Structure 1
Amino acid sequence: MNVQSAENLTEILKTFNESTVKLRQAYDALQLKFGALNRQLEDTNKELSRRIAELSEVKEYLNSILQSVTNGVIAINVKGEITAFNKAAERITGLDAESVIQRAFSEVFATDFGASFQRRSGQMEHGQRYTSRDLKVKGRHPFPVRESNSFTRDGRGEITGAVKVFEDLSELRELEEQARRQDRLAALGQMAATVAHEIRNPLGGIEGFASLLARDFDADDPRSKLVTKIQEGARSLNRVVTELLVFTRPMKLDFKTIELPMLVNETLGFLSSDIKAANIRLQKRLGKGELKVTGDAEQLKRVLLNIMLNAVQAMPNGGTLKVGCRQGSLSPAARKMLGHCRNGSWAEVSIRDSGPGIEESEIPRIFNPFYTTKEKGTGLGLSVAAKIVDAHRGQILASNSPRGGALFVVSLPLEG
């Protein structure tokens, strides 16, 4: 190797060493920058985690408030899909939030929330005032509510959906109806007492004189039959007056523990001859378990006897009488109106006949006093029955069975 080659090699090594030093310096600088970026990323992640935690806390806090509100709250998006459904809404409607979230409001309720809030956008621009109307879950009876509807908006003011806030008015409506009923009963009671006094005195004289007159005629005398008609008419009128007094006077009930299936069986025993005479087939399903209620056995027997007798009379040419007894559960709205009981459970007695059924227009009035479709009916039998059941904090409902005939269901709170 000559001198020139040695110098070249030395220069190359020098350049290589310089490059290595520069590379080391660049690497060290890059490592420092990477460390700084890594620390910055860690700080950003910590800040992001903190904000996520804060947002989660805020979300939980807001959800806690939403679930604690006693009014029902339903929120929907611009597509009309339900996005929020609080516990009060569950209680009032009887629906589970999980079963309705992300479903269209119009699929769940008979009212199309989406279409209605678009049509009334002028009202809802700044929130709609509370209005009273009926809210109807599909496939169920409507119930009265007081509601307010408003739009929801994002930070830019764009509409993102709407929110409905409502309260159940079922209890208030029931109390109002009870007050009206009590006013009517008070007026009717005063009238009944006066009428009973004015009628019973001469009525007793008519029946007494008719009995004396009957002694003067032989059994085959045509006039004897006329006297008998007078006696029957007097007794019938006296029975109407008695039923009217029973209906209008406050009830004195003797509450005791009652085995409901046994009471139903005893009541059917009173009608055994009528059932056989009318060629009616009796089907009983009284259950195997105990169904104990607290009540007045004689008064409840009177209720069942009245309904069963009506069922028998609805089938003069024979038919089928189905009597059932079981543990049931009322709707949340009905439980709220009637009061609380053990586990929300109720004893149900169902009485179904295969007769012509009830005219749909008659069902809302069937428990009204003096309303009857029978030629010789007083219109007080079912009214008294409803009053007795009401005094037991129960419920009596009349409807038409899908298979034909009338269906009556008496619900009483289980003992405990």
Structure 2
Amino acid sequence: MEIPLPARADGPRFSLKGRPRLWYRLSGMEPQMSPPTETILIVDDERFVRELCVEIIAGEGYRVLAAQDADEGLRLARQEDVGAILLDLMMPRMSGFDALQILGQELPEIPVVVMTAHSSQSRVIDLLKMGAYDFLPKPFEPSDLIYSTRRAVERHRLFKENKRLLRELQDQVKAQTLEISRGRQLMENIISHMGSGLLVTDRDGKIWMINNHGQETLGVSGTQMVGKRIQDLFPGTEPLLEVKVGSVLRELDLTRPDGRIVPLGFNNSVLLDASGQPEGTIIIFRDLSDLRAIRAEVRRKDRLAAIGEVAAGVAHEIRNPLFGISSVTQILLTEVKFGQVHQELLAAMQAEIKRLNTLVEDLLDYGRPSKLQRTHQAVDQIWEEILGLAKEELAEAKVKVTREFQEGLPSILADGNKLRQVFLNLLKNAIQATPPGGQITIRLSRSTLSALPAPVQRGLALQAGDGDPSTVYVVSQVIDTGVGIPAADLERIFDLFFTTKSTGSGLGLAICRRIVEDHGGAIGVESVEHTGSTFTVALPLRPAPSQP
């Protein structure tokens, strides 16, 4: 077969017969050999044209596959990594048109160069619409074939490169998105689990966000706050938005919607936008109620310690003259004959001297350093002894006692006599406060710090900071159905010399507190007037190494 080729601009027109390499020599276009980089698929039913194209393209260093019909071409295109396809349109069985449509559906990334002798403008437009990349009219120059092939291969290379870059970009975007998501999740977790409140506003005080702790502290949900001005929600909170130089902790009393006044400790800073311009305020705050209670407790303990030292000194000075008075009274009673009236007066004097001597001993006991004789003590057995001693007193007061002892309570290292003193004092107070027909419950259990009543937790915090949350405590609770304690007296109930009883000295509960704290524990009270009181004593299962 003879393929007429257009004449070169610098030579005559040739008809190619025989071996194609001869044409290369005649045309002056020796093939440029280079390492194979892409695979070219040639699909043409004319053997001579097919072999000619193979020879020309292989001479450019490409790997070439050849197919004699469309079916074979589709099979090779599906199996091999093809960089470009040279496709003849007019073939038996399946035409190039049908093959082009299938390639466009299955392998749209492979550029297809259509070779045909029918090169009308409408035909070219139709082929391009069907997905053809280029159009090569027959007869063609080898240079045109090479040029179209190179363009198709370059397009395929660019397509693969773009695909690779797109995949890398997608992977980077995915990784960065994941990293941002993780960072955001981490930030949200940190903010939501902060031990302080975090509130962010714009320049006008309009709330952008508030964390969970902040919502709990202020007593308002985030949905009720976001988008509203903090000054409108909480009047008098303008200082929260006033940023001062330096991270100075300031305090502010804030009134919650439920009417409760919350002392806030806070510091704030300016929120800057991307250009470094102020766009809002960041406020970090926390409820200082517990801290203020601890401060007050520290002041109270310091005051009581000073009072105790003075009282102990005074008691020491009183004891010697008191002993002399008591001795003289005893002599008068035994050796001097008085009438009935005078004997009764001396007996009353002796009783008052005894009571005063007991008070002096209590003061001295309160003022002197504690020396505990620690041994293993079973708290439930101590309580059984105390209840046995108080059996007649309970019966006389017509008060019922209920025991709620947790089974398997471990023993503790403690001074047994000191604990008996504490428990007996608490029981006697409960009996005196409970009317006939009432009930006293003795409840024994083991507990961790977080499960203890709030007053006891504050007492432990005062002694050892936040303490060890894993510490186990043996807890004794004395629960009565008595008259209760007025709310105004609850904060002073353990103060030295404070009493609500006409015959009380105000030393009993103060000494109880001293003994319990010497053991590394805490005592607290919860009470509702006209309903009853609960005194709780928490003693650590194992004393701290620094405790006596």
Shorter chain as denominator, the TM-score bin is 0.7 to 0.9
Deviates more, 1:348-357 or 1:308-317: 308-317
Of 395, 410, 413, which residue of structure 1 is paired with 2:537?
410
**1:185 and 1:25, CA in 2 relative to 1: closer, same or farther beyond 3 A?**
closer
Q: Partner letter of residue 438 of structure 2? A: G
Distance 1:386 1:219 in 2: 46
Partner of 1:199: 318
1:82 aligns with 2:206: no
How many angstroms apart in 1 are the aligned matches of 2:262 and 2:521?
A: 19
Name the structure 1 match of 2:357. Answer: 238
Match of 1:51 among 158, 161, 176: 176
Summarize the Cα distance change of 1:400–1:265 in structure 2 as closer, same or farther, 3 Å threshold.
Answer: same
Q: 2:301 aligns with which of 181, 194, 197?
A: 181
**CA-to-partner distance for each residue in 1:194-235, whole Å, 9 max, x for gaps?**
x23432222222222222222357898232211110100100
Q: Does 1:390 align with 2:517?
A: yes
TM-superposed CA distance for 1:338, in Å, is 4.2
Pairwise mapping of residues 360-399 of structure 1 onto structure 2 (< 5 A)? 360-399=487-526
- 1:302-353: CA deviation from partner (whole Å, max 9, x where unpaired): 1111111011112353421111111233349645444445724322211111
Cα deviation, residue 237, structure 1: 0.6
37-46 vs 204-213, which moves further: 37-46
CA distance in 1, matches of 2:271, 2:179: 23
Q: Which structure has more helix as a fraction of its residues?
A: 1
How far, CA to CA, are the matches of 1:302 and 1:106 in structure 2? 53
Asked whether the equivalents of residues 283 and 322 of structure 1 are also in contact (C-alpha less than 8 Å), the reply is yes
Task: Please list every run of 5 or more consecutive structure 2 residues that lacks an aligned counterpart in the other structure.
Answer: 1-115, 136-151, 544-548
Residue matched to 1:359: 486
What are the equivalent positions in structure 2 for 1:153-172 lying under 5 Å apart?
154-155=273-274, 159=279, 162-165=282-285
Q: Provide the residue aligned with 1:5 in structure 2.
A: none
Q: 1:284 to 1:219 in 2, by over 3 A?
A: farther
Q: Deviations over 1:275-319 (max 9, x none)?
A: 011111111101112233222111111111111101111235342
CA distance in 1, matches of 2:351, 2:414: 34
Mapped partners of 1:238, 1:168: distance in 2: 44
- Specify the code of the residue in structure 2 equivalent to 1:15: S
Choose 196-205 or 365-374, whichever is displaced more.
196-205
Over residues 157-215 of structure 1, what are the superposed CA-to-partner deviations in whole Å (9 max), with x where a residue is unaligned? 5857744155979579747844763465246424522x234322222222222222223
Bigger-Rg structure (1/2): 2
Residue 14 of structure 1 deviates from its aligned partner by 2.9
Paired residues of 1:133 and 1:145 also in contact (CA < 8 A) = yes
Rounded Cα–Cα distance in structure 1 between residues aligned with 2:269 and 2:540: 40
How many residues of Structure 1 are paired with residues of Structure 2 in the alignment? 388
Whether 1:282 aligns to 2:401 is: yes
Greater shift in the superposed pair: 117-126 or 369-378 = 117-126
Aligned partners of 2:527, 2:417: CA distance in 1, in Å? 27
SS in 2 for 1:148: strand
Query: 3-state DSSP class of the match of 1:361?
Result: helix
* Contact 1:346–1:411 under 8 Å retained in 2: yes
Which whole-Å deviations, capped at 9, do the CAs of 1:341-378 have from their partners, x for residues lacking one? 57243222111112211111111111110111211111
2-structure distance, mates of 1:112, 1:281: 55
Deviations 1:44-86 (A, max 9, x none): 32442353355357558868987999x746345765753476x
Tell me what 2:446 maps to.
Answer: 327
Unaligned runs of 5+ in 1: 1-11
Which residue pairs with 1:7 in the alignment?
Answer: none
Partners of 1:82 and 1:101 within 8 A in 2: no
2:439 pairs with 1:311: no
Alpha-carbon offset, residue 379 of structure 1: 0.5
- SS for the counterpart of 1:365 is coil
In structure 2, C-alpha distance between the alignment counterparts of 1:213 and 1:34, rounded to whole Å:
124
Give 1:14's aligned residue.
118
User: CA separation in 2, counterparts of 1:53 and 1:257?
Assistant: 57
- Aligned-residue sequence identity (percent) comes to 23
SS of alignment partner, residue 348 of structure 1: strand
Structure 1 residues 360 and 112: CA distance shift in structure 2, 3 A: farther
TM norm structure 2:
0.58
> Which sits farther off after the overlay, 326-335 or 308-317?
326-335
Contact 1:306-1:382 within 8 A present in 2 as well: yes
Q: State the superposition RMSD in angstroms.
A: 4.6
Change (3 A) 1:259 1:101: farther
Residue 8 (structure 1) aligns with: none
